[in-house]
Amino acid sequence: MDPHGRAELARRLVVALPALDTELVPVISAQDTLLAKLRCYRASRPHLDQDYLHQGARTLGFTELYERASRE
C-alpha cells in the first residue's frame, strides 16, 4: 500500500448507515474521496463524458466551478 493509502485508512471515519440497517461502517473522509477522484480523473481524463459532466454541474448548480476546473 502506498503512503497515501495508509494515511487514507488512518483518517477513515466510522459511521452508522441506518438505510442499510448495519452496525458501524468505515468510510474514507471527504478529503480523501476528493483526492481519489482527482487520481481517477488524471488517469482517465480523455475518456470522461464531458457532456454528462457539464449537465451534472449545471443541474447541481456549480457550472462556474466545473468550467474553471476544466480549464485548469
List pLDDT tens digits, range 15-71: 888 877 778 888 899 899 888 888 887 887 667 788 999 999 999 999 999 999 888
Residue 18, Cβ density class (10 Å: 0-12 exposed, 13-18 middle, ≥19 buried): exposed
Q: In terms of residue numbers, what domain contains 7?
A: 3-71
User: How many structural domains does the chain have?
Assistant: 1
Q: For the chain, what percent of residues have pLDDT higher than 90?
A: 25
- Mean pLDDT, the chain, as a whole number? 86
pLDDT (0 to 100) of residue 46: 67
Confidence of residue 1 (pLDDT cuts 50, 70, 90): confident
Amino acid at 61: G
